[in-house]
Structure formats: structure tokens, C-alpha cells
Amino acid sequence: MTQRTESSRRHALGPGIILAAAAVGASHLVASTQAGALFGWQLWWVIVLVNVLKYPFFRFAVTYTLESKQNLIAGYYGEGKLYLWLFTVLNAIAAVVNTAGVLLLSASLLKLFIPELPLIALCWLILLGCLLVILGGQYRMLDNLSKWIMASLSLATVVAVIMAWGNAQPLPDDFVAPSPWQLSALAFLVAMMGWMPVPIELSAINSLWLQSKQKLTRISLKHGLFDFNLGYWVTAALAVVFLALGALVQFGSDQPIALAGTQFAQQFVSMYGNTIGAWSEYLVGGIAFLCMFGTTLAVLDGYARTLKECRSLLAPRAQDNKPPATTERLTWWVIGQSFAGMLVIIYFQSALGPMLTFAMTLAFLTTPFFAWLNFKLARKNKMSTLMRLYGWLGLTYLIVFAMGYLYFLIFMGS
């Protein structure tokens, strides 16, 4: 395949936008709207802060891939097999848990349209659809479509927030806003930050996507960072927009806030119906489902690629150099990851709340390790003093908060 010789912003667009599309999935639909619905505007600065402090570690993935001409996983291996083994183990756990989480959330949205089928049956149905798309070689087409789906959901959300702002009613005089600054809310805060904007191991997946993009178009560091920055900061802004929707529509209402399951899906689409009009509920529900379907595809394809890459480096075989075997090997990784995720769903007995909370919390607790690895690799290349300090600030925050939460679980959880 002929590679484009020109490097432009338009030709560089792709990996960063796909990462943004994946981010609008569970972290925004679930965590951001629930933060607004439960606590109003109190957590807006926390969402901004966690996006700001995680930024350098996703950026490091882009700069390292473009400057070193290799992906992050190969970089981990270059640091020593132990680093790659640790990444592989944590990434495998995240792959299975996150697959289960996005499948359950997608199934909850689909149940709005097919209420007769149980949630697990809908999970199998979605999984089958994902496998047909990925194994049928149509993933690239859906990747392009997912950008328009994500844009449609984002536009609908912005419109809903504007209309809700104009129709906002004052809270009752006797209403006492619950405080997120207490130990009982700590688990929610950790879960919210774990997938905000996306689990940090997706930086390795983004590195593989960027490397694949380079085979089609020569991307300069400047234009690669433009693609990444556009996707990342638009995603950060949308996180606040989704929080605003929950705060303006649900916060302070008498209706209990559903945190999971089909009740959550129904409340989510009803927020649009209450602001835009009842006609929009099924439209937004369909768009939200397609958005989550695209996120599920990204999770299945992306994690399978990282696990395949890890295996090829840790246990190389002579036949691995044969191009025809590549698709077949990826197929088996996707299938294995899919059924492992379904086993987790069956074990949790379709409990979306605990499943998503566990996935988000695991993502937060493993973030310091992935962030440190990315920082370690990025420091091998030229880095400004300001960006180096930025990295240390973000890493300090992630380590301190994770250690503090572990201390609470071990010594105060009971």
C-alpha cells in the first residue's frame, strides 16, 4: 500500500478522534451524568482536574510512538520483560472486566427497544454482532461511522443542556444537597476518575492505532499532537456537558437516581425527553446504543491487539513473521476475550452497577503503573522542563490518591 508523502492536519486525524469516541461511552454516559444527578455542580472541577492531570500520560504515548517509530508495547519490552509481563497481566484483567462492563451497558440501552429479552441474552446478541463486524473485516467502516454517531450524541446533549438551562427551576428551599466530600462517596469518586476520560491502558491501544495510521499517511509530531489534543480536550469538555445534563435535569428531583441497569438507561434517555421533547427519547436511545456498540467494538478490537502484541514479544515463534497468520491470531484473541467477558457477566448475574464500579475502580488503581511506564519511556526522548514537571505532578496525584484509597479499603473499609 502506498503511503501518503504529505503530512497535514486533515490526513493526521483519526486515532485521537477514535479515542474520543471511545471516551464518550461509559465514562460520560454513566459517570458524568451520575455525578451531576447525585451532587449537582459540586464535582465539575474534579472532572476537569482528573482530565488535566491524566493528559500528559496519554500525550506521552503519542510523542513516543511518533518519535521512536515503535509502539508503547515494544517500548515496554525494551525496558525489560518484567515490565511487559506486568503490563500484560494488568491489561488482560482490564480487557476482560472492561469487555463485560461495556457489554452490560450496551445491553441495558438495547433493552429499551427489546424489553422482552433478558439482559444476558441481549449481551450475547450484541457480542455476536460485534464478532461479525470485527471478524468480517468491517471494523474500519464502523470506525468512521462511530465518529458521526459520537458527534450526533454530543450535539443532542449540548442542545439538551442549553434547553435545560433555559427551563431550570430553583431547588426547593428545604432541599439539602448531598455532599461528595465524605467517606461514603469515596467509592463513587474513585470509580468516576478511573474511566475519566478513558482507562489509561488505552494509551497503548492508541499507540497501535497511531502506528497503523502511519502506514497509510506520514504523520508529523505536530500534526499527530493536533489530532490527539483535539480529541482529548473535546472529550474533557463533553464530560462537563454530561455532568451539566444530570445536574440540570435530575439533581434535586424526588425521583431516586438509578445507578445501573435498565432503570439507568431509561432515566438517561428521559433526560433528553424532558428537555428536547418526548419524541427524542428513542432517537437518543438509539444513538446512545450505537455509541456504546462502537465503544464495545473498540474495546474488543483494541485490547485483543495489545494482548496479541504482548504475546508475540514475550513468546515469539518462527511462524509469527508470516503475514497471513496475523488475522487468524487476532481472531482467536478477540473470541477468547469475548467469552471471558461473558463469563464475568454471568458470574455477576447481570449486576451492572457492581460490574461497572469494579471496572472503573480497577482502572483507577492500575493507572499509576501505566502512567509511570509511559512517563519512563517518554523521558528517553527530548522533553521540555515544563512537560517533565507536568508529568511528575500528574504521577504524584495518581499515586497518592490510589495509595490513600487502598489504605481506606484495608484499614477503614470495615
Q: What are the pLDDT digits (tens) for 113-154?
A: 898 888 889 999 999 988 888 877 655 665 566 667 767 777
Q: What is the DSSP-derived secondary structure letter of residue 381?
A: S
Q: Using CB atoms within 10 Å of the CB of residue 7, give its burial: 0 to 12 exposed, 13 to 18 middle, 19+ buried.
A: middle
Q: Given pLDDT bands bounded at 50, 70 and 90, which one contains residue 4?
A: very low
Give the percent of the chain with pLDDT over 90.
16
CB 178 within 8 A of CB 36: no
133 falls within a domain: yes
Closest by CA position to 103, among listed 189, 26, 195: 26
Q: Is the dihedral of CA 217, 223, 226, 232 positive or negative?
A: positive
The CATH number for 334's domain is: 1.20.1740.10
pLDDT value at position 325? 46
Say if residues 188 and 38 touch (Cβ distance below 8 Å).
Answer: yes
Q: Does residue 174 form part of some domain?
A: no
Q: Does residue 235 fall inside a structural domain?
A: yes
Residue 342, domain extent: 9-167+198-349
Q: How many domains are contained in the chain?
A: 1
Residue 406, in any domain of the structure: no
Tell me: pLDDT of 57 over 90.
yes
Distance CA 76, CA 378 (A): 11
Rounded distance between C-alpha atoms, residue 334 and residue 161, angstroms: 38
How far is residue 182's CA from residue 357's CA, in Å, rounded to a whole number? 18
Which residue, among 155, 187, 229, has the nearest Cα to 38 in the 3D structure?
A: 187
Residue 275, in any domain of the structure: yes
- Is residue 25 pLDDT above 80, yes or no? no
Residue 50 forms part of a structural domain: yes
Burial of 316 (0-12, 13-18, 19+ CB in 10 A): exposed
Size (the chain), residues: 414
142 contacts 297 by C-beta, under 8 angstroms: yes
In a domain, 89, yes or no: yes
At 174, list the grid cell. Answer: 428545604
- Residue 144 covered by a domain: yes
